[in-house]
Structure 1
Amino acid sequence: MTTYKFNVDMTCGGCSKAVTAILSKLEGVSDINADLTTKVVTCNSTKFNADELLVSIQKTGKKSSIKND
């Protein structure tokens, strides 16, 4: 299992719920945390890589990128 972090331009609770909802529909994705204060989404995946997860997040219409620590 790999942990991924993304910068996501979330401005409200609806934004964080939308990102959480789309990621939770993906098989093999777990421990999703969308932090509205820091605008960082963290999740674990056994099946998808960062680029694939980013495409799913971008389907919500939110500007997003892979967070490099």
Structure 2
Amino acid sequence: MTKHEFEVAMTCEGCSGAVTRILNKLGDVKFEIDLEKKLVLIESDREVEDLMATLKKCGKEVKYIGPK
């Protein structure tokens, strides 16, 4: 599985909680959230576009940083 790094405009625990709930619905991903750095590291075989679309459902700005 490939690891992808995303920057998500999270400002609080509620924001990171929303990202966690959304990613848990995918079921086939492993992820880490660094709220302080506003980073989400996702390990998945899914396409980057699919992961981006999923993360955008939390209503925050999302930027793809690249593979990790």
TM-score (ref. length: structure 2): 0.89
After TM superposition, the runs of 4+ consecutive aligned structure 1 residues lying more than 6 A away are none
User: For residue 51 of structure 1, what is the aligned residue in structure 2?
Assistant: 49
Matched, 1:11 2:11: yes
Structure 1: 5+ residue stretches without partners:
none
Q: Counterpart of 2:47 in structure 1: which amino acid?
A: N
Deviation at 1:50, TM superposition (A): 1.2
RMSD: 1.3
Query: Matched residue of 1:68: which SS?
Result: strand
Structure 2: 5+ residue stretches without partners:
none
Deviation at 1:12, TM superposition (A): 0.1
